[in-house]
Amino acid sequence: MPARKHTLRNAIVTPTLLAAAAATTIYTSANATSSSTGTSIETLDINHQMLCLELGLTPEALAALGVQGHQVIAVFTSLDEEADLVSSLRSQQLQHRDTVSSLKTARAAIRHAESPIEEQQLQASINELQSQATSILQGIDQTEAQIRQRVLPTGTNLQQVSRVCEPTRQAALVPVEFRFADLRDEDFAEIASALAQEQRAQANNEQPDTDTQLILSRYRNLPEVQQARSYLLYNLDAVRGAFSN
Is residue 29 a part of any domain in this protein?
yes
Is residue 34 a part of any domain in this protein?
yes
- Rounded to an integer, what distance in angstroms lies between the CA atom of residue 175 and that of residue 188? 10
> What is the pLDDT, as a whole number, of residue 208?
94
* 3-state secondary structure (DSSP) of residue 34: coil
Is residue 5 a part of any domain in this protein?
no
> What is the pLDDT, as a whole number, of residue 2?
43
Is residue 219 a part of any domain in this protein?
no
Is residue 204 a part of any domain in this protein?
no
Is residue 211 a part of any domain in this protein?
no
> What is the pLDDT, as a whole number, of residue 15?
42
> What is the pLDDT, as a whole number, of residue 47?
85
Is residue 46 a part of any domain in this protein?
yes
- Own/partner pairs for 168-175, CB < 8 Å, 24+ apart? 168/5, 169/3, 169/5, 172/5, 172/6, 172/9, 172/10, 175/10, 175/60
Domain count, the chain: 1
Sign of CA dihedral 62, 63, 65, 71: positive
Contact 5, 165 (CB under 8 A): no
Residue 143 CB coordination number (10 Å): 19
- Rounded to an integer, what distance in angstroms lies between the CA atom of residue 62 and that of residue 177? 11
Q: pLDDT by residue (tens digit) across 21-41?
A: 333 333 333 343 333 334 333
Better-predicted residue by pLDDT, 23 or 207 = 207
Q: pLDDT by residue (tens digit) across 115-162?
A: 999 999 999 999 999 999 999 999 999 999 999 999 999 888 888 999
Domain that holds residue 61: 15-154+234-244
Is residue 205 a part of any domain in this protein?
no
> What is the pLDDT, as a whole number, of residue 93?
95
